[in-house]
Amino acid sequence: MEEKIYHLQYIAEDKFWWFLVRNRIVYELINNYCKIPENSTVLDIGCGTGGFARFLNIQYNVIGIDSSQIALDYCRKRGLSNLYCGVLDDFNFKNENIQIITLLDVIEHIENDVDILQKSYDLLDNNGYIVITVPAYQWLWSNHDVLHRHYRRYTKKRLVELMQGSGFKVHYTSYFNTLLFLPAVFLRFIEKVTGNTSNSELENPEPALNGIFKIIFGFEQHLLKKIIFPFGLSIILIAKKE
Q: Tell me, what's the pLDDT at 201?
A: 47
Beta strands 124-135 and 234-240, pairing class: antiparallel
Q: What is the pLDDT of residue 95?
A: 85
| pLDDT, position 198 | 54
Q: Is the dihedral of CA 35, 38, 39, 43 positive or negative?
A: positive
What residue type is assigned to position 51 of the chain? Answer: G
Query: Tens-of-pLDDT digits for all 242 residues of the chain?
Result: 567 778 888 999 999 999 999 999 999 999 999 999 999 999 999 999 999 999 899 999 999 999 999 999 999 999 999 999 999 988 888 788 999 999 999 999 999 999 999 999 999 999 999 999 999 999 999 888 888 889 999 999 999 999 999 999 999 999 999 999 999 898 888 877 776 655 554 566 788 999 999 999 999 999 998 999 999 999 999 999 98
Q: What is the pLDDT of residue 203?
A: 64
Beta pairing partners, 176: 234
3-class SS of residue 114? helix
Between helices 3-15 and 69-77, what is the axis angle to 10°? Answer: 40
Q: What is the pTM of this model?
A: 0.93
